[in-house]
Structure 1
Amino acid sequence: MQMESTRFKNRTWDVAADLRLPDGFDPAKKYPAIICAHPISSCKEQTSGNVYAERMTELGYVTLAFDASHQGKSGGEPRYLEDPATRVEDFSCAVDYLVTLDYVDEDRIGVVGICGGGGYAAKATMTDHRIKALGTVVAANYGRITREGNLTPHAAIDTLEAIGRQRTAEARGAEPLITTYIPNSPEEREQAGVSDIDIVNAVEYYRTSRGQNPNSPNKLRFSGLQAAVGFDAFHLAEVLLTQPLQVIVGDVPGAFGSYRDGWELFDRARSDKKNLFVVEGASHYDLYDQPKYTAQALEKLKSFFEENL
């Protein structure tokens, strides 16, 4: 396997990506390609790249794992912005890049998205039908997550009002508020009294040696959440999502809600060919990097893309 760093454009900035080429690569041949999209707050060096892209490349696909715009090694200002429209556009820009490569078969481009990257991948696939097959792993609808917040009846409105106050302060010269997605350490999580399995495992994955990476710094521009509150990753799936779909979830539910989001995506998708695979005993983060569970997800993706790319 060969891996090379590359870049492609989204509007005026560069998106950083890792391009992997399978063993025995021959530039004179045509290869199917898979775009691998990372979770919210993640980067291409974590699960999307070092687990899913690695395995898909071993299976003979050209893969492209990228850092979301405004994050990781990608360009885009302001920094630490989680903007759904831009995240969705990243996928089409990735396709734009792949179709310029002579060795990529433009009629055999697929996507794998993990967590929030799965939600964005679904939205991108609805409107970019150059993407011929979609696989999601613990896909999460980031808009739903931000609307639910702390699960109070007025969570979304409270969030929007707080964002409004912050935007007003910044317009008057205050420094941007850069907050965190999760507690910065297991100790901080314990002090906060948070015990939900998704939060516990998120801290273990992102803030310890298990998966920590400097390109995933746990920083979020708070005022940028305004767009996310009004975003629905699955809106119009019953109208526009017609490509073959493979949804993969774990059956241990947690606060991020990927189990129910996976079922919602599956139920709503217009796709004639669609399948939902439940990995028994797996929580959300088990499907990031735990071989016992990722092996099952990858085997399902293997057969899915063999059939549909």
Structure 2
Amino acid sequence: MPIKRISFDVAGDQLIGNLHLPSSKGVHPAVVTCGPMTSVKEQVTGTYAAELARQGIAALAFDHRHFGESAGEPRHYEFYKNKIADLKAAFHALSAQPEVASHQIGAVGICLGCGYMAHAIANRSDIRGFVGVAGYYRDVEAMKAADPTGFANKVAQGKKARMHYERTGYVETIPAAALGQDAAMTMQSTFDYYTKRAVHPNYENRFAVMSREYFLGFDVQSAVPHIKMPFLMAHGPNALNPSWADKFYKAVPGLKEKTSISSEGQTDIYDNPEIVKATVSQAVEFLSRVL
């Protein structure tokens, strides 16, 4: 499938994206994709964007500020406000492409990308459909209740790192994915994905500690009343937090559908060819009706 490299600016920083296009000529319905924390466009969003294009829908995968080929300092900073603003700009950039039918734009989120996307498209009528794949529908109140001391300590750690950065310019980092040490992601499956299967020159296995100041408080559930477009949730019993996914789905006020993903865990949904193809097929069937 052809890939068109595009760039667009957000707050003076240049963002780089790959627009995956179907092989057929003409204009196409299209989506913006958004993926897991710390990830880059050559990983899960690129995998899904390529399969979407193979099945007839143009799809933009891009690097958010602070990551990959995109600009933005400090590096490896997982800051939800910037990610949401980046997505809003990405929709504008996508709709301006001559290969795209600007009146047929949708959204696809994977893992935490579902949360960033939900906030980015809140109350919008121009985004015609939203697909959430194996979403990490964070429930901050539940997280605080489960470990109030640990939650508060990590927020304080992030604030301290941010203040140190502002004084000195030094960015304290930990691994994005690791086992047996402090890291943003500590499950075996995420470690295997980011350090083995998804290794790419544009990805660094690093996470700015200052991210924790705001990241810990990023709540996905609060976006749900504002999901006005048709919504397809693709989730499964072995994906992240099925109970949070169920809570989010039940609260969606508009048209909604649900399909189940059969997987061993979360990250095989990112790159197992059979799972990706089947999940995208469900997404395309849905998007073809609503875009």
Assess if the C-alpha contact under 8 Å between 1:84 and 1:227 holds in 2.
yes
Assess if the C-alpha contact under 8 Å between 1:114 and 1:138 holds in 2.
yes
Deviation of 1:49 after TM superposition, in Å, equals: 0.8
Aligned-pair Cα RMSD in Å: 2.6
**Cα distance change of structure 1 residues 307 and 87 upon mapping to structure 2, 3 Å threshold:** same
Give the Cα–Cα distance (whole angstroms) in 1 for the partners of residues 271 and 289 of structure 2: 25
1:1-309 equivalences in 2 (<5 Å): 1-26=1-26, 30-50=27-47, 52-141=48-137, 144=140, 148=143, 152-173=147-168, 175-183=170-178, 189=179, 199-208=187-196, 210-238=197-225, 240-252=226-238, 257-271=240-254, 273-309=255-291
Q: What per-residue deviation string (whole Å, max 9, x for no partner) do you get for residues 217-257 of structure 1?
A: 1211111321222221231422x21101011112125xxx3
Q: What per-residue deviation string (whole Å, max 9, x for no partner) do you get for residues 117-138 of structure 1?
A: 1111111121443211000111
Amino acid in structure 1 at the alignment position of 2:285: S
Give the Cα–Cα distance (whole angstroms) in 2 for the partners of residues 66 and 261 of structure 1: 27
Deviation of 1:285 after TM superposition, in Å, equals: 0.9
| SS of alignment partner, residue 18 of structure 2 | strand
Assess if the C-alpha contact under 8 Å between 1:114 and 1:139 holds in 2.
yes
Give the Cα–Cα distance (whole angstroms) in 1 for the partners of residues 72 and 174 of structure 2: 18
Deviation of 1:71 after TM superposition, in Å, equals: 0.6
Assess if the C-alpha contact under 8 Å between 2:159 and 2:212 holds in 1.
no
Assess if the C-alpha contact under 8 Å between 1:115 and 1:258 holds in 2.
no
Assess if the C-alpha contact under 8 Å between 1:143 and 1:228 holds in 2.
no
| SS of alignment partner, residue 14 of structure 1 | strand
**Cα distance change of structure 1 residues 93 and 168 upon mapping to structure 2, 3 Å threshold:** closer
Amino acid in structure 1 at the alignment position of 2:187: I
Give the Cα–Cα distance (whole angstroms) in 2 for the partners of residues 92 and 136 of structure 1: 17
Amino acid in structure 1 at the alignment position of 2:101: D
| SS of alignment partner, residue 158 of structure 1 | helix
| SS of alignment partner, residue 139 of structure 1 | coil
Q: Which consecutive unaligned segments of at least 5 residues does structure 2 have?
A: none
**Cα distance change of structure 1 residues 46 and 236 upon mapping to structure 2, 3 Å threshold:** closer
Give the Cα–Cα distance (whole angstroms) in 2 for the partners of residues 282 and 308 of structure 1: 30
Deviation of 1:163 after TM superposition, in Å, equals: 2.4
Amino acid in structure 1 at the alignment position of 2:267: Y
* Higher deviation after alignment, 161-170 or 9-18: 161-170
Assess if the C-alpha contact under 8 Å between 2:35 and 2:45 holds in 1.
yes
Percent identity of equivalent pairs? 23
Assess if the C-alpha contact under 8 Å between 1:36 and 1:53 holds in 2.
yes
**Cα distance change of structure 1 residues 46 and 165 upon mapping to structure 2, 3 Å threshold:** closer
Assess if the C-alpha contact under 8 Å between 1:250 and 1:287 holds in 2.
no
**Cα distance change of structure 1 residues 295 and 104 upon mapping to structure 2, 3 Å threshold:** closer
**Cα distance change of structure 1 residues 64 and 170 upon mapping to structure 2, 3 Å threshold:** closer
Give the Cα–Cα distance (whole angstroms) in 1 for the partners of residues 243 and 83 of structure 2: 22
Q: Which consecutive unaligned segments of at least 5 residues does structure 1 have?
A: 184-188
**Cα distance change of structure 1 residues 276 and 228 upon mapping to structure 2, 3 Å threshold:** same
Assess if the C-alpha contact under 8 Å between 1:123 and 1:234 holds in 2.
no
Give the Cα–Cα distance (whole angstroms) in 1 for the partners of residues 125 and 84 of structure 2: 13
Amino acid in structure 2 at the alignment position of 1:15: L
TM-score, with structure 1 as normaliser: 0.85
Q: What per-residue deviation string (whole Å, max 9, x for no partner) do you get for residues 16-44 of structure 1?
A: 10012211223xxx321111112112111
